[in-house]
Amino acid sequence: MAELILVLDEGTTSTRAMLFSADGECRGMSQRELTQSYPAPGLVEHDASEIWEKSLACAAEMVERAGGAARIAAIGITNQRETIVFWDRQTGQPLAPAIVWQDRRTAALCADLREQGHEAAVQAKTGLLLDPYFSGSKIGWAMRNWPQLAEAGDRLAVGTIESWLVWKLTGGLHISDASNASRTALMAIGSGGWDDGLLALFGAPRAALPEITDSAGRFGETRLFGDPIPICGLAGDQQAAAIGQACFAPGDTKATYGTGAFVLTATGTTLPTSRNRLLATIAWQIGGQRAYALEGSVFVAGSLIKWLRDDVGLIGAAAETAALAASVPDNGGVYLVPALSGLGAPWWRPEARAAITGLSFAAGRAHIVRAALEAQAHQTHDLKTAFAADGFDWTCLRIDGGMAANDWMAQDMADLLDLEVERPDSVETTALGAAMLAGLGAGLFDSLGAAAAMRGGARRFRPAATADQRRARLDGWARAVRGVLID
C-alpha cells in the first residue's frame, strides 16, 4: 500500500532525496554534493546533467529503502530558486551550463534597466526588483551570448530546477509551479501568467518557457522506478520552508539559514507592496488560488561558514563555530560583513564586497568566527527593520535550515532581535514542506492546515541581552556596513 512520500530537495551545494511518512517522520535520506563552478569573479554555474544524475541516484536509493515504488504515494520536489536550466526538448540534454541564483553576470544590465526607469514597472508586476539574482535577466543574457540556444529554435526548453527535474522524471512534461515562476521576474504575480512586456524587456522566449501550475496536485507520473509514482507537490525552497513551518496565517514569519538566508512573512491572499526594497512573492498556489508572502533575501549565510572552512582554513568543521564563539566574552569589536556575493535585501548592492573590520592584536580566530555567526543576526535585524517599516513587524521568528541547528546562533538571534525565536525539532522544514504539498496533492490531507501535523514540536529561545548590549552591537554593525557601501 502506498503510504510514503518521496521528496527531492535540490539545493545549491547538494541534492538529496528524503522519505517521509504521513505523520512527518523521516524514514531515510540520501545526499550527494554538487560541483560549484566559478568561471570568473561573480559567475556561478552548475552542470544540470550532474544535478539530474545525482538526484536520480538519491531517489533510487530511497525507493529501495521504501521497499519499492508501490510503497510511495507521491513525489514532492523543492529546489534552489532562480537558477535557470537550458535544454533540448528532443534529446533531453542541457545546451549550456545552468546559471545559478548567486550569479552576478547581469549586474550591469540590471543597473542600465534601473537607470532607464524600468524598476517601478517591474516591481509593480512581479513584486521583485531589478537585480541579477532573478532568472529573467539570466535568460536574456544567455539568449544573447550562447548562440546554441537560438540555434535550437523550437527545440529549446528553459526552466528553473523543479521544471528540469519534472521534465526528466516524466520524459517531457514542461511545467513550473507558481512559487518558482514568481521568482523569474517574467510572471505577473497578480494575474498568475507570463507577461509579454517582461518577456520583451529581458529578451526571454515565451515558447521555451513552461506552463505555470499549482503547487499541489497531480502533475504527471514517473515510471523510472518501476511502478508509477505521481508527482504531486512543487515549490521553491523558501516557500516550501514556510509551508513546513506552518506559516499559513498573515504575519507568520520564518527564516531559513542555508547557503543564503531568507525571511518570509505570510500575507494571505493580499499581494503586499514594499516601500523598503523587500520582495513580494507567491508563497503557494492551490486550486488556482494564490497565497502571497513578503520576503527578504540575504545572499550569504551558511556559505560564509563554508568559505571560512574550505577557502580560509579558519575552522575544520562547521560544528566548531558554536564553541569558538562562546569561548570569548564578546566580538572584541570585530564585525564581518559577508558580502561575498554582494548585499541582498534591504540594500541590493551587487557590487558590494565583504569586509572584516575592527581587527587588532587582541583579536583572534574566535573573534572572527563569532563575528561570522553574529552577522546572521545582524543581517536578520536589518530585514526586521524593513519588514516593520512595511507594516509587517514580527512577533516571533521561526528558524530552520542547517545553520539553525547551532544553539549559540539561535540564542544570539533572540538576543539581538529582542524576540522569541522558535526552532522546530526537525530543522529540515524545506523537505517537509514539499512533503506536505505532495501529501495534499495526493489526497493524503484535505488541506495545508491538516498537513501541518507533520511539523511536530519546537524549542524556543528567549531574549536575554540588555538594551545597551543590543545597541552597541547594532551601532558597530552599522559602521561596518557603511564601509562596504561606499561608492
> Residue 321 half-sphere exposure, CB side, CA atoms within 13 Å?
30
Percent pLDDT > 70 in the chain is 99
Residue type, 384: K
Overall average pLDDT of the 35-44 stretch: 90
Overall average pLDDT of the 330-346 stretch: 90
Q: Which run of H or E residues covers position 408?
A: helix 407-417
Residue type, 157: A
CA 51 – CA 54 distance, rounded (Å): 5
Alpha carbon distance, N-terminus to C-terminus of the chain: 62
Reduced to 3 states (helix: H, G, I; strand: E, B; else coil), residue 127 is coil
pLDDT in tens, 164-184: 999 999 999 999 999 999 999
Q: Residue 324: its pLDDT value, please?
A: 93
Task: Give domain status of residue 336, yes or no.
Answer: no
Q: Residue 487: its pLDDT value, please?
A: 61
Task: Give domain status of residue 436, yes or no.
Answer: no
Is there a contact between 264 and 429 (Cβ–Cβ < 8 Å)? no
Q: Residue 44: its pLDDT value, please?
A: 93
pLDDT in tens, 438-486: 999 999 999 998 998 888 788 999 999 999 999 999 999 999 999 888 7
CA dihedral 237→242→243→247, nearest 10 degrees, is: -170
Reduced to 3 states (helix: H, G, I; strand: E, B; else coil), residue 468 is helix
Overall average pLDDT of the 299-326 stretch: 91
Task: Give domain status of residue 456, yes or no.
Answer: no
Q: Residue 1: its pLDDT value, please?
A: 56
User: Sign (positive/negative) of CA torsion 21, 26, 31, 37?
Assistant: positive
CA distances from 251 to 254, 288, 293, 397, 419 (A): 10, 22, 9, 10, 14
Task: Give domain status of residue 255, yes or no.
Answer: no
CA distances from 423 to 399, 461, 484 (A): 5, 8, 32
Task: Give domain status of residue 148, yes or no.
Answer: yes
Orientation of helix 135-145 relative to helix 107-115, angle to 10°: 110
Q: Which residues pair with 337 in a beta bridge?
A: 355
Q: Residue 402: its pLDDT value, please?
A: 85
Give, as one character, the DSSP assignment of residue 362.
Answer: T
Percent pLDDT > 90 in the chain is 79
Q: Residue 185: its pLDDT value, please?
A: 95
> Which phi and psi angles does 218 have, rounded to 5°?
-105, 105
Overall average pLDDT of the 61-86 stretch: 95
Q: Is 239 exposed, middle or buried (0-12, 13-18, 19+ CB in 10 A)?
A: buried
Overall average pLDDT of the 293-301 stretch: 90
**Higher-confidence position of 277 and 1:** 277
Overall average pLDDT of the 406-430 stretch: 92
Task: Give domain status of residue 396, yes or no.
Answer: no
Overall average pLDDT of the 305-325 stretch: 91
- C-alpha angle with apex 395: 394 to 397, nearest 5 degrees? 70
CA distances from 239 to 158, 247, 256, 304, 465 (A): 21, 10, 10, 23, 31
Give me the number of domains the chain comprises: 1
CA 313 – CA 429 distance, rounded (Å): 30
Task: Give domain status of residue 213, yes or no.
Answer: yes
Is there a contact between 101 and 80 (Cβ–Cβ < 8 Å)? yes
Question: In this structure, what C-alpha cell is assigned to residue 78?
Answer: 523543492
CA 227 – CA 310 distance, rounded (Å): 42
pLDDT in tens, 85-101: 999 999 999 999 999 99
Orientation of helix 407-417 relative to helix 365-389, angle to 10°: 50
Q: What is the mean pLDDT of the chain?
A: 93
User: Sign (positive/negative) of CA torsion 325, 327, 329, 331?
Assistant: negative
> Which phi and psi angles does 313 have, rounded to 5°?
75, 25
Is there a contact between 213 and 178 (Cβ–Cβ < 8 Å)? yes
Range of the domain at 146: 4-237
Orientation of helix 107-115 relative to helix 119-126, angle to 10°: 100
pLDDT in tens, 203-241: 999 999 999 999 999 999 999 999 999 999 999 999 999
Q: Which residues pair with 74 in a beta bridge?
A: 5
| CATH number assigned to the domain comprising residue 176 | 3.30.420.40
Task: Give domain status of residue 420, yes or no.
Answer: no
Overall average pLDDT of the 419-432 stretch: 90
For the chain, the 3-state helix, strand and coil shares in percent, each to the nearest 5, are: 40, 25, 35
Question: In this structure, what C-alpha cell is assigned to residue 58?
Answer: 538519491
Tell whether the model's pLDDT for residue 19 goes beyond 70.
Answer: yes
CA 265 – CA 247 distance, rounded (Å): 8
How sure is the predictor about 355, in pLDDT bands with cuts at 50, 70 and 90? very high
CA 143 – CA 480 distance, rounded (Å): 39
Residue type, 35: T
How sure is the predictor about 345, in pLDDT bands with cuts at 50, 70 and 90? confident
How sure is the predictor about 277, in pLDDT bands with cuts at 50, 70 and 90? confident
What length is written for the chain? 487
Question: In this structure, what C-alpha cell is assigned to residue 206?
Answer: 515565451
